[in-house]
Amino acid sequence: MRTGPVLLVVAHGSRDPRHAATVHALVRRVRSLRPGLRVETGFLDFTLPSVQGVLESLAAEGVRDVVALPLLLTRAFHAKADIPAVLRDAPPQLRIRQAEVLGPSPLLLRALDRRLYEAGLTPADQSSTGVVLASAGSTDPEAIAVIAAIAREWRHTGWCAVRPAFASASLPRTEDAVRELRELGCARVAVAPYVLAPGRLPDRIARGAADADVLAEVLGPAPEVARLLLDRYDAARVPALAAVGA
């Protein structure tokens, strides 16, 4: 039985087919965690279906309540401007709430740990391993500050050191952060991509990790990420349901 508003996962989109494949894998995991929830996926650019197309299809079916969840790790331009603009153009019969972006969250730190352990590290390696928290980068100062804060928080969980790095728009680059951790004296250096899906910028992160000892996979359909999507959906759907009953 389907219950609650439809969850519309709003992804950025990419010309790289690995991006959409990873987004769809994540959405499948979300569906498996909550079988009674209808979950749809729309893309802002490059990939179909578009967000607007999904919204129009939902309206044509008679759907009335939607929670639009930005598949983003920080509140940068897409969350503040692009997505609200698309949602404003949705069919008027739809009641839409925009959920919060995914980050920051302790669940994402657990997903980062998971990816590093899958890449060969163990909890016993933490105290001697420096980690580069490598994100896509942004021109938004708020987004950059969030990444720096996450790096500080993650350092307190036991890693030798954690340094933020960016694939574009901001400095330092991944290779610079790797070099800094070497100079700091960390016995090994690992790079943890703080990105959700493969693409041009994650590939740039991988190239910058050439001198690191360990390169983790992107967060992708990690169980913690799927759980976080549902947490953000639940937080957004409560006001939506209250509005329905008003």
Query: What DSSP line would sit under 93-144, residue for residue?
Result: T-EEEEPPPS-S-HHHHHHHHHHHHHTT--GGGGGGEEEEEEE---S-HHHH
pLDDT at res. 128? 98
Check residue 146 and give its pLDDT: 94
Amino acid at residue number 184? L
Are the C-beta atoms of residues 139 and 80 closer than 8 Å to each other? no
* Residue spans of alpha helices (H) in the chain: 17-33, 51-61, 77, 83-88, 106-118, 141-155, 174-184, 200-208, 223-245
pLDDT of residue 137: 92
Question: Do 11 and 54 contact (CB within 8 A), yes or no?
Answer: no
Q: Which of 8-17, 68-77, 153-162, 169-178 has the lowest mean pLDDT?
A: 68-77
Distance CA 87, CA 85 (A): 5
Length of the chain: 246
Question: Residue 65: what pLDDT?
Answer: 98
Per-residue pLDDT of 172-227, as tens digits, reads 999 999 999 999 999 999 999 999 999 999 999 999 999 999 999 999 999 999 99
Instruction: Kindly state the average pLDDT of the residues 92-107.
Output: 97
pLDDT band at 242 (very low <50, low <70, confident <90, very high): very low
Rounded to the nearest integer, the mean pLDDT of the chain is 94
Q: Whole-model pTM?
A: 0.93
pLDDT of residue 241: 46
Question: Using the 8-state DSSP alphabet, how is residue 50 labeled?
Answer: B
Model confidence over 18-62: pLDDT tens digits? 999 999 999 999 999 999 999 999 999 999 999 999 999 999 999
- Of 81-95, 157-171, 232-246, give the lowest mean pLDDT range: 232-246
pLDDT-derived band at 239, boundaries 50, 70, 90: low
Say what the pLDDT of residue 1 is.
57
**How confident is the model at residue 76, as a pLDDT?**
75
Among 105, 159, 170, residue whose Cα is nearest residue 132: 159
Q: Is pLDDT at 246 greater than 80 in this prediction?
A: no
| 4-15 average pLDDT score | 96
